[in-house]
Amino acid sequence: MAELTDQVIVITGASSGIGEATARLLAEKGARVVLAARREERLNELRDSIEADGGTALVVPTDVTDREAVGHLINTAHETYGRLDVLVNNAGLMPLSMMEKTHEDEWEQMVDVNIKGVLYGIGAALPIMTEQGHGHVVNVSSVAGRRLFPGGAVYCGTKFFVRALSEGMRNELSNKHNIRVTSIEPGAVATELTHTITDEDILANFEGMEMTPLESIDIAESILYAISAPDRVNVEELLVMPTEQAM
């Protein structure tokens, strides 16, 4: 396993769940983590907690639907530390709903955050990574990027996009520019992700579900595995499921 010491790692969606756990773990392993999301207070608390444990963290409040703001995030990380080793494109939301209910605003939000937000991060990071001759982009897709389920047509579509994008990026960037690309595909993880669901039928289905989900640290550990592999290794995809999740 390669060292993360002094590596500069930008994590979007760091204010809760998988992003927060990933920031804590990578900082513990010596990385300098740059924390992005909209809830600034949560990011400040996380930075303080990381620093109290001896780590290094920088907060850059960012709405990933704003291309300029994402450019500012990536440039701030680079200007502050003089390098950009890893971008973890993790911010996302999942307001599941049945298509017949036409929750168009929610469809648009998912496209804006889960697709365009990811592209903005990549667009800002690639010029720096190609110039420095190395880099690693970790895109958080989902098992929903491989399998469809009722209420997930649009969400799954965004996560299929992220997985396809990751494969295309690896094909074009890894050999030519020494940029590794990983698609992380979690099954159900206990986080705040379900809080944006407004479709009552979907919520009722969730209530009836009995299963031990993954914890955010389980996904943080898989991101750590991918980015700390030796330079010759590109972990292209990791599908990580709860043992009790059937599909």
Ligand X SMILES: NC(=O)c1ccc[n+]([C@@H]2O[C@H](COP(=O)([O-])OP(=O)(O)OC[C@H]3O[C@@H](n4cnc5c(N)ncnc54)[C@H](OP(=O)(O)O)[C@@H]3O)[C@@H](O)[C@H]2O)c1
* Site residues (vs ligand X, CB under 6 A): 12-13, 15-19, 37-39, 62-65, 90-94, 113, 140, 142, 186, 188-189, 191-193
**Least CB distance to ligand X at residue 39 (A):** 3
CA distance 195 to 214: 17
- Give the residue with the Cβ less far from ligand X, 39 or 206: 39
**Least CB distance to ligand X at residue 162 (A):** 8
CA distance 133 to 126: 10
- Give the residue with the Cβ less far from ligand X, 134 or 147: 147
CA distance 153 to 110: 11
CA distance 209 to 242: 13
The answer to whether residue 120 is catalytic is no
| HSE-CB for 238 with a 13 A CA cutoff | 20
**Least CB distance to ligand X at residue 3 (A):** 26
- Give the residue with the Cβ less far from ligand X, 178 or 199: 199
**Least CB distance to ligand X at residue 112 (A):** 7
**Least CB distance to ligand X at residue 221 (A):** 14
Torsional class of 196: left (φ above 0), alpha (ψ -120 to 50), beta (otherwise): alpha
Write down the catalytic residue from 81, 120, 155, 225.
Answer: 155
C-alpha dihedral, 225 to 227 to 231 to 234, nearest 10°: 80
- Give the residue with the Cβ less far from ligand X, 3 or 192: 192
CA distance 222 to 143: 14
* 242 close to 213: Cβ distance less than 8 angstroms: yes
243 Cβ neighbours under 8 A, 6+ residues apart: 212
- Give me the active site residues, please: 155
